[in-house]
Every structure is written in C-alpha cells, then in structure tokens.
Chains A and B, each alone.
Chain A
Amino acid sequence: MHTDLEALARQIEPGMRIALPVDYAGVSMAMTRPIIDHGASDLDLVCVPTGGLQVDMLVGAGLVRSVETSAVSLGEAGGAPRFNQAVRDGSIGLRDATCPAIHAGLMAAQKGSPFTAMRGLIGTDILKNRDDWRVIDNPFAQSGDPIVLIPAIHPDIAIFHAPMADRFGNVWIGRRRELAAMAYASKMTFVTVERIVDESLLASETLAAGTLPALYVSEIAVAPRGAWPYGLWGEYQTDTAELLRYAKAARTAEGFAAYMSGAVTEPAQ
C-alpha cells in the first residue's frame, strides 16, 4: 500500500482518463514530476471541477490529449500559459463544462447510474459543443420541460493529496468531499499524504466522518509538503510567489522547459 511516487506514476498508461482536483482541495503536485518523467501520453484529464498548475504542466509536457474542465487558471497568478497556448494551437481536445456538470458526472458514477439530470445549461455554447450530453423532455412534467443529461464520468485514476492517512489505508479528507466523489467514481485512486498515523482514523467518531475508507484507495505515498506550491487546507498556505515565477517562465515553450529542468521543483524545507 505504501509506496514511492515513481512506482505510482508507472501505473499510468497512455490514453488513461485521470481525475485531478481543484487547486484548493489538495493537488498532489508531488506526483507531477514523476508523471512527466514516466511519460505516458494521450491522457484525458478530468478537472474536478477546475484545473491549475498541475494541468498546465502536464499539457506543457505534451502528455495531454484532452481536458474536460470548467476552467483552467493559475488563480491570482493569472491565466494558465501552456494550456492557453495549446488551445490556440488546437493541440488538445477541449471539453468545456460547468462545475456542477462535472460533479453531476461523478455523482452518476458514484451511484452506478448511467447519467444524472441537471438544470441550467440550455441555450449555452457549452451544451452546443458537447456531443456527449443530451437534452430530454422531463418525463415527470405535465408540459414540456427540457433538461440536460450528463453521462457518468468514470476516470481510470484519481490523484490527490491529503494531510494524513493511517496504517490501514484510510485517508483523512476533512470537508473536501469532492476528493471522495473522485475516488468513488474512479477505478483506482492514488493519494499522497503529509504523514501516516498509527491509529485508525475510523477509531475516532470525529475523524471518521471526514475519512475516505481504504476500500476506495488503491495506493498511498508519503510526500511532505506534497501540494506545494499550492497550499493544503489546515496545513500550509499557497506559495503565490512560486506560482508567479512559473506563470512568467511558462509564457514560452522554452521558458517552460527551463523552469521544469530547473533545480527548484521542490519546496524549501
């Protein structure tokens, strides 16, 4: 169960669908470099529900075939430079969505249902560009009531970072329930953590409510400050200066390559 980051990355195969969390939920930035070094390409990324630095780096490294997302940005550090360039070049497939549609797709998978119905979306160019979504007439309504169906999203692997796991493979996710939703929907879930504790997280009623049981967790690896330069809730703040440094460097392909080959890809301890 407890393994190293490179061993996790080696399980990623070309063409896999990978679910990654929003920047404040617990991004396993520590896995980014091992994934790039491993080099499995043609990945279809699912951002839950938006993407940031990790998505931009994987796109910049040429590993990404398509991105399903509600947004990609570096937050306060501005637009995502490699993602935006790939959009201009037409070199990645885009599946623009809206946040609750991504949640709806994961929810359908969680329930073992083929789809979830959701409001909104009708009349948007998002819907117009999604040939995998459907509009039906609500069969329970007295008169016409169009509603959108979002098919279940079944990622091959969900990857995220959390504060702690226990020796039994349970992971504490606190109130970041989208991490559980990702894990329920995915065939495999890889989690990096700040630390591993001896006592079962399920032994305490207080901790158990925020715990993702080992049933849904395939692999765990320890990676201290593993969300850096993103922050981790309850643990450490986002390193905005580093995000800005990346944003500036990655404006060009050469700058991106130089940044990625630079010595500073790990946090100062």
Chain B
Amino acid sequence: MTAPVSAREILICSIAKLLDGSRHVAVGASSPIPAAGAMLLRALKDEMRAEKVRVSILGSVEHNFFTNGSAELFDCAGQGRIDAFFLGGGQIDGVGNINLVGVGDYPRSSVRWPGSFGSAYLYFVVPRVILFREEHTPRVFVDRVDFISAPGVSEPGVYRTGGPYALLTGKGLFSFDRTRPGFRLESVHPGHSLKEIKEATGFEFDHNDDLSITPTPDAATLKLLRGRVLDELHETYPDFAAQMRREISAGATSA
C-alpha cells in the first residue's frame, strides 16, 4: 500500500507550486522543507522536459554552485539573478514585516533570536520571497513586530524589486497584496479550519467565504517527492530525509 500523504508532503508540494515559473531558486540554511520544495519543482520540470530550474541550497556541496564565498548569494540576488527565496521570522505581522532579532525592547531583548541574516537585503531584491513558518500561533503572527528586520513594503521612491509573495504555515496558505498591504488566506490545509486560523493569527487578513482546501499531490508528484527529491535532500539534510522515509514506510504498513 502507498502511505497516505503527510502534512509535510503537502507543504513541500505547495512550495513547489508557489515556485513555478522561477528559473533560479535559492534556499537558506536550516530549511529542509523549502529545499525539498525547490528540488521537487526542479524534478517536475525535468520530467516535463521544460526549462531547467537552478537550485542553490546553502549548506549543500552538490546543490550549490557558488564559488565566491558567502557574499555571492547576495551579489547574485542584487544582480536580479535569484527569482525566489525563503524567509521566516520569530514574528511576522499583517503588513509583511518580519522580525528575526527578538522580543521586547531592542537591544535588551527578553528573548533573543539569532539575528536578521540576509533578510534586510534579500526581501528588497528577490521578486518572490516566500514566508515560511510551520508554527502558526498568535505569538508568531502578531499585530506589530517588535523589531523590523525587513519591512513588508517600502515607501514610494525606495529601490525595491522584491518582497513577500506568499505566506505558508502549518495551517494554511496566504497570498500577499502589496497595494493594500496585507495577506489573503488562499487555502486551508486538510484537517484545519478558518476559525482555527483566525484564532491563531494576531492580525486581520482577507479571505473568500468558501475557502478551498490546500490540494494534496497527485501520484506522479508524490512518487518524485518520495524518490528523487528525498535522495537529493539526503546530502544536506540526512536526519530530515531519513525521518520522512521512516514515516512513509510506517504509513505504508499501516495503510
């Protein structure tokens, strides 16, 4: 029996869909689900014999062609050569501001997170930034972030070729409207509800009255994900790939 589709697999497939049309996708460190999504898009395009997708996975040797040190990712983005990237946030607010620095009054944050990394640049110059945060709670999705590592939108006249494109959480998928600005709930993942998402979100968002359910992948996509993509992912994220494989084989026996 084929194992049922897991919540993580739905996230990975959702990411591959959001990335469709990108020629070069870069993925930051400690991001196994975005990396898998980018690899799945590449594999799907290869199957269709469509234009190849370049994927740059930080922390990988095989799936990373940069030779100019850690500055090259940013230079590449500044030149407009990166179409999509992923950012998260300890806090994300309703106008797309992200906070990777900490809670409370800076600089003496009561909770300190690692720091802004490249967000204060990449959010401005990568056209399709996908905000990805599995934890969907009011402490993450706040009305107003305590520290702006990178702003969702900029004043007119500020050079900006990039910004938030979508927000994917463990409960749902949102699009971002730069003109409003704000998020719009596009679909709810299987097993979750609008009511639950409203309670877990500290900001207002738009949505249709009849919400769609985030689609589950078809058999061909699932086969690619469980085969080629997990093989490729193993080099950078061995523990994550092994855990997904265990879940799949456990699901197959109990199904």
Residues of A that sit less than 8 Å from B by CB: 22, 24-25, 48-50, 69-73, 75-76, 79-80, 83-84, 87-90, 94, 96-101, 103, 107, 118-127, 129, 143-147, 175-181, 233
For chain B residues 149-178, which have a beta carbon within 8 Å of chain A?
A: 149-151, 154-155, 157-159
- A185 shortest CB reach to chain B, Å: 12
- Which of A87, A120, A176, A181 is close to B120, meaning CB atoms less than 8 Å apart? A120
Q: Is the CB of B68 within 8 A of A76?
A: no
Q: Is the CB of A96 within 8 A of B117?
A: no
Interface centre among A87, A94, A100, A180 (most CB of B within 10 A): A100
**For residue A87, which residues in chain B have a CB less than 8 angstroms away from its CB?**
102, 107-109, 112
Q: Which of B121-129, B181-189, B198-206 contacts A (4 or more CB under 8 A)?
A: B121-129
For chain B residues 99-115, which have a beta carbon within 8 Å of chain A?
A: 100-102, 106-110, 112-115
Q: Is the CB of B149 within 8 A of A124?
A: yes
- A20 shortest CB reach to chain B, Å: 13
- A19 shortest CB reach to chain B, Å: 13
Residues of B that sit less than 8 Å from A by CB: 29-30, 59, 61, 66-72, 74-75, 78, 100-102, 106-110, 112-125, 147-151, 154-155, 157-159
Q: Is the CB of B121 within 8 A of A98?
A: yes
With A87-B109, A88-B110 in contact, is A177–B115 under 8 Å at CB? no
**For residue A71, which residues in chain B have a CB less than 8 angstroms away from its CB?**
100, 114-117
- Give me 22 A-to-B residue pairs in the complex whose CB atoms sit less than 8 angstroms apart, sorted by A's number: A50-B115, A71-B116, A80-B114, A83-B112, A87-B109, A88-B110, A90-B108, A98-B119, A99-B74, A99-B117, A99-B118, A100-B71, A121-B124, A122-B154, A122-B155, A126-B120, A129-B107, A144-B157, A177-B68, A177-B72, A179-B69, A181-B71
With A75-B29, A119-B124, A144-B157 in contact, is A70–B74 under 8 Å at CB? no
Q: Is the CB of B67 within 8 A of A123?
A: no
**For residue B29, which residues in chain A have a CB less than 8 angstroms away from its CB?**
75
Q: Is the CB of A99 within 8 A of B121?
A: yes
A76 to B68 alpha-carbon distance, docked (Å): 25
**For residue B78, which residues in chain A have a CB less than 8 angstroms away from its CB?**
100, 119
Interface centre among B110, B116, B123, B148 (most CB of A within 10 A): B116
Q: Is the interface of A mostly helix, strand, loop or mixed?
A: mixed
Q: Is the CB of A88 within 8 A of B108?
A: yes
A146 to B155 alpha-carbon distance, docked (Å): 11
Q: Is the CB of B106 within 8 A of A145?
A: no
A48 to B113 alpha-carbon distance, docked (Å): 18
Q: Is the CB of A119 within 8 A of B159?
A: yes
**For residue B151, which residues in chain A have a CB less than 8 angstroms away from its CB?**
123-124
Q: Is the CB of B70 within 8 A of A96?
A: no
Q: Is the CB of B70 within 8 A of A178?
A: yes
- A115 shortest CB reach to chain B, Å: 16
Which residue in chain B gives the minimum CB-CB distance to A83?
B112
- B240 shortest CB reach to chain A, Å: 10
- A180 shortest CB reach to chain B, Å: 8
Which residue in chain A gives the minimum CB-CB distance to B147?
A125
Q: Is the CB of A178 within 8 A of B121?
A: no
Q: Is the CB of B106 within 8 A of A70?
A: no
**For residue A233, which residues in chain B have a CB less than 8 angstroms away from its CB?**
61
**For residue B114, which residues in chain A have a CB less than 8 angstroms away from its CB?**
50, 71-73, 79-80
- B154 shortest CB reach to chain A, Å: 5
